[in-house]
Amino acid sequence: MRYVRFIKNGRIGYGLLEGEGIEVLERNFLDGIFETDEKVRLEDVRLLSPVSPGKALCIGLNYREHIGELEMDRPEKPVVFIKPTTALLNPGEHIIRPEMSKRVDYEAELCVVIGRKAKDVKIEDAYSYVLGYTIANDVTARDLQEKGGQWTICKGFDTFMPIGPYISDEVNPGNLHIQSRLNGKVMQDADTSLLIFKIDYLISSLSSVMTLEKGDVILTGTPKGVSPMAKGDVIECEIEGLGILKNTVL
Ligand code: MG
């Protein structure tokens, strides 16, 4: 299934994407699938981020060649940071570059959406806690990123977490083509098979610390090819089977 959250005539709705249409659900798909007879056309709605997560856990340095371009060392354990929910941005909306930064980068990432409460999950059970997958852009004020220090500031500005356009449970997350394009030019081009710390391991290790709740997301890290965005730029993050997450830069 492909899950969407949308706005139509000022009202937020939830639905299942079917071709060019949406089958409207009675309530948030995180609470179960309750179908209605209502259908709307995709062109008549605006898609929102499919989830509004309670927490967004992000993994740094999870592709070998990206570690190289940042001139950092490969971590022995996952580098984890949290993006505040106020950073959430809908597809199509503007990423706002803060005045205090001179360099704001895109980072295309596979985003895992948790479907049910998870605590102390075994690796072999981890995928049963996943609702599906979507795309995130882990926008980063690179010049404010401290090596070996905190990352919450450089990645925590408002609008620094575009997510969408939909969640799919129809993909194999271990083997997906991932790409970003800046003004149409391919900048990142990789495959999720290159993840150092895999999704099942991440769910297991994170859930050994904190409860993961339905709607929480895990941003799994970005491949090499990051670079800055300027005013007026269009950034597209695309993952095979998950569509295109497109935003503009202010
Ligand atoms: Mg990242």
C-alpha 37 – ligand 1 centre gap (Å): 40
H/E element, 131: strand 130-137
Least confident stretch, 29-38, 61-70, 103-112, 217-226: 61-70
C-alpha 4 – ligand 1 centre gap (Å): 23
Q: Distances from the Cα of 4 to the Cαs of 39, 62, 100, 192, 240, in angstroms?
A: 13, 28, 34, 23, 17
> Do residues 154 and 102 make contact, with C-beta atoms less than 8 angstroms apart?
no
Q: What pLDDT is attached to residue 68?
A: 86
C-alpha 221 – ligand 1 centre gap (Å): 4
- 6, exposed or middle or buried, with CB in 10 Å at 0-12, 13-18, 19+? buried
Least confident stretch, 15-24, 143-152, 213-222: 143-152
Tell me which residue has tokens 């007879």: 37
Tell me which residue has tokens 């360099």: 103
Q: Which residues pair with 134 in a beta bridge?
A: 111
Provide mean pLDDT across the span 190-219. 97
C-alpha 18 – ligand 1 centre gap (Å): 31
Q: What pLDDT is attached to residue 15?
A: 98
Beta strand 94-95 pairing with 243-249: parallel
pLDDT at 165 > cutoff 90: yes
C-alpha 11 – ligand 1 centre gap (Å): 32
> Do residues 56 and 49 make contact, with C-beta atoms less than 8 angstroms apart?
no
C-alpha 112 – ligand 1 centre gap (Å): 13
170: its two tokens: 């129809």
C-alpha 35 – ligand 1 centre gap (Å): 36
pLDDT at 148 > cutoff 80: no
Q: Could you report the per-residue pLDDT of 227-244, keeping only the tens digit for each?
A: 999 999 999 999 999 999
Q: Is the pTM of this model over 0.75?
A: yes
